[in-house]
Structure 1
Amino acid sequence: MVPTSAQLESLTIGDDVSYYYFDSGAVPGNIYTTFVFIHGMGFNGGVFRKLFPLAAAHNLRIVSLYRRDYDPTTSFRDADLAGPISGTVEGQEGFLRNQAVDIAIFLVTFAREQNIPPAQGTSGGIALIGWSLGSLFTHAVVAYLDALPSNIISDLERYLHTMLSHDASSTLLGLPYPQIHNIDIWSETDIKSRFNIFREWVTAYFPHQSVTSGNIDDLEFNKFSDNTHTMHELSSKELAELTSIKTFGGSDMLIARSQQDVFKTLARRAIFDTALAQKFLPNLRVRYMSGGASPGVLVWALYEIGKCLADPKPVYGPDAKTARDVKLKFQTEGNHFVFWDEPQAALGQYIATINL
């Protein structure tokens, strides 16, 4: 199941690390915008393949990165995972800092080699879009801009105009799950069974009463609607091309189980640290969106981050202050995989959210 409208390419960023990615290609004769997607947990960069044929008509170039440990991108080495395995805040933060630097170098190297148009507002340049667990990595890029070499940060400022998180979990924002959310899925010890339960949950449609009310009682956290789940039409072979149970149960699980203080630090540095925001990419726009039928816990996360934007101090510390241009968008249509079931609508959602 290889996308016919995009090529699988590779880019080596140093230290024998190569990222693979699908690229819909330049839009000839136009100042186009490049969307760079970072995929979530268990699903690789191929999940965005239905967007590629639609890119040029929207004056977009779409790049879908395969994260480390997702074949054929370079796997993690034992030394890479020493931080997450250590279980310490320092080790886990160090790991995410290293991933942030690598992804930022990828963005700048890609922009240089492909000669993409620099940013002019939200035209040209790059919008970095993290979906689900991928939003942790986009947060990390913004959180650790101060870790980048000067030649990288100067070019990144020319290109990166927006960071968008699509359906970020509350835990990835340093916030606890609400008690109403059933987390029994993570107690399943058999990795294959856990992935199958996770896939059933994450590809479902959730019948919320309202996603815009801000009321937790209007959200559905645990029961699916009767709508057919996303990717139901795929054979086991086709599904295997888009997923990695091994990585889901391995490095992704290690990353997702990092201490909450680590995720809180990333969110604080990314959007609530005035000194960092003023010094590094001060014009960077930060956007969050959730789907109209995504799991309730993901919609609720935007409720909570919205409260923190109004007053971040109780969660992110006495010095926390909303330091960037941050806006939220509650989509009223589409589940967690809207880009698969409704790709045209999904592109419209991304464009509208970035341009808020």
Structure 2
Amino acid sequence: MRTIFTLVLFIVSTVSSVSSLSQGSIVVDANGTQLTYTDSGAPDSHPYTTIFAVNGMGFNGGIFSKIQTLAPSRQLRIVAVNRRGYAGSTPLSTYEQNVILNGTADQQAEFSRNIGVELLMFMDEFIQDHNISVFNGDKNSAGGVAVVAWSIGNMAGLSAIAHIEDVPEATRSRLASRIRSLIMQESSSNALGLPAPAQNWVPLDISDPTIPAAHQYTAFAQWVTAYFDHGNLSSRDPDVISWVVPSSFTPFTIFNMTVSQYNTIVDTSINPALDADQLALAPVLEANYRASNFNSTLRGLLPHMENWFITGTRSASFGPYCIWVVEDDNAAAGGGFVNFMTIDGVNHFMHWDDPELTLSVYQSMILS
């Protein structure tokens, strides 16, 4: 199923006070590895649905703060999980960094597996700590949990689903009774272990080594927040995509941030570079992508889970392109494994620029 979702929101008032988000961390293995998070808190009404949102490259979980603020009014609880190295989560060790760059195939597969298992253990601990309700199987009712993996965060989100068999039985049972949606939001094809198209360009050395190394991630943090004027995307023709040049008529998302917000949320240090390095683990990433989406046996372990891929019509090139790739893979697998939604007028940062719309989109998928 593919849906074109268009919603115009008129903001008639401004909320003068923003409720604070609770913060915490959860230890996810015997080595003391921890993942930090912010939590919108439980809505007043029960049951409610919990969303675990996984951050992308160069932006920590603070990028979800606007939808977190609005979540309780939508009978949602949003937990923004910071991947390893971001916002206080345990950094990747020197050994892990070396495995990414120089490890054997088995070592790299184990590294990716561990990242996924860490996320599963995080969700399970949060579920137990906060008594998150099971999903009763009624798609029109609240309850259970959804996983939103945003951008390169799909590397972690898909690894988690792909390795559901690698956690203790009690953990697997709790997750299986609660996970109702996997939402792949704006992944790039190479984050799924699939080739990038020949036209692909990002302001990083993987595309353009002429950009000074010291400025690449700052440039990326600006470029990826832009709006793009693509041609007719329904044609599925890569030549209609604006691969390099953003729109001249819509301010980038990053220009809608205060200096304080930028300094709190944007990470242009070592963490984005480590994320980019992991794109070289293509065989592992592809295995996770195919297992979590198209492996019927594995999907059977999560019987309530509906998978979605969403992108915006004005997002950076990799989102509109990647949805075509996943659509083709879904069709090749016989169809019915993944649902698709294209949201009109939004860019890669819809959850920051259009939080009300974003929550409506999430709810339309979770309750479908």
TM-score after normalising by structure 1: 0.90
**1:330 corresponds to which residue?**
342
Does 2:197 match 1:178? yes
The one of 234, 243, 246 aligned to 1:221: 243
**2:41 corresponds to which residue?**
25
Question: Alpha carbons of 1:9 and 1:188: their partners in 2 closer, same or farther (altered >3 Å)?
Answer: farther
Does 2:71 match 1:55? yes
Paired residues for 1:100-111 under 5 Å:
100-111=116-127
**1:265 corresponds to which residue?**
287
**2:23 corresponds to which residue?**
8
Q: Is the 8 A contact 2:187 2:318 kept in 1?
A: no
Residue identity matched to 1:174: G
Cα separation, 2, equivalents of 1:351 and 1:188: 43
Compute the displacement of 1:262 (Å). 1.9
SS at match of 1:241: helix
Residue identity matched to 1:8: Q
Does 2:94 match 1:78? yes
Q: How many residues align?
A: 344
**2:351 corresponds to which residue?**
339
Does 2:138 match 1:126? no
**2:171 corresponds to which residue?**
152
Structure 1 stretches lacking a partner, 5+ long: 313-320
**2:279 corresponds to which residue?**
256
Q: Deviations over 1:288-339 (max 9, x none)?
A: 1001210122111111110111114xxxxxxxx66x7421111112110111
SS at match of 1:79: helix
Structure 2 stretches lacking a partner, 5+ long: 1-17
**1:40 corresponds to which residue?**
56
Compute the displacement of 1:267 (Å). 1.4
Residue identity matched to 2:286: K
Residue identity matched to 1:256: L
Question: Alpha carbons of 1:284 and 1:238: their partners in 2 closer, same or farther (altered >3 Å)?
Answer: closer
TM-score after normalising by structure 2: 0.87
SS at match of 2:146: strand
Q: Is the 8 A contact 1:290 1:330 kept in 2?
A: yes
Does 2:298 match 1:282? no
Cα separation, 1, equivalents of 2:285 and 2:28: 26
Question: Alpha carbons of 1:12 and 1:174: their partners in 2 closer, same or farther (altered >3 Å)?
Answer: closer
> Looking at both structures, which has the greater relative contact order when contacts are Cα pairs under 8 Å and sequence separation is at least 6?
2
Q: Is the 8 A contact 2:60 2:82 kept in 1?
A: yes
Cα separation, 1, equivalents of 2:242 and 2:93: 40
Cα separation, 2, equivalents of 1:110 and 1:140: 19
Cα separation, 2, equivalents of 1:334 and 1:175: 24
Cα separation, 2, equivalents of 1:310 and 1:238: 41
Compute the displacement of 1:209 (Å). 2.5
**1:169 corresponds to which residue?**
188
Instruction: Indicate the percent of aligned positions where both proteins have the same amino acid.
Output: 26
The one of 220, 223, 230 aligned to 1:208: 230
Q: Is the 8 A contact 1:211 1:330 kept in 2?
A: no
Q: Deviations over 1:247-304 (max 9, x none)?
A: 344421222332x2222211121122233223x2133211110012101221111111
Compute the displacement of 1:18 (Å). 1.9
**1:352 corresponds to which residue?**
364
Compute the displacement of 1:184 (Å). 5.7
Structure 1 range deviating more: 114-123 or 90-99: 114-123
Does 2:321 match 1:306? no
SS at match of 1:192: helix
Structure 1 range deviating more: 328-337 or 85-94: 85-94
Does 2:215 match 1:193? yes
Q: Deviations over 1:1-35 (max 9, x none)?
A: xx743111222223212221110101123210011
Residue identity matched to 1:105: M
Question: Alpha carbons of 1:188 and 1:4: their partners in 2 closer, same or farther (altered >3 Å)?
Answer: farther
Cα separation, 2, equivalents of 1:355 and 1:26: 18
Cα separation, 2, equivalents of 1:18 and 1:181: 35
Compute the displacement of 1:189 (Å). 6.4
Cα separation, 2, equivalents of 1:18 and 1:203: 29
Cα separation, 2, equivalents of 1:335 and 1:175: 22
Question: Alpha carbons of 1:116 and 1:36: their partners in 2 closer, same or farther (altered >3 Å)?
Answer: same
Residue identity matched to 2:229: P
Q: Is the 8 A contact 2:226 2:252 kept in 1?
A: yes
Cα separation, 1, equivalents of 2:256 and 2:75: 30
Question: Alpha carbons of 1:304 and 1:250: their partners in 2 closer, same or farther (altered >3 Å)?
Answer: closer
Q: Deviations over 1:58-91 (max 9, x none)?
A: 1000110111111311222223334313243322
Q: Is the 8 A contact 2:85 2:271 kept in 1?
A: no
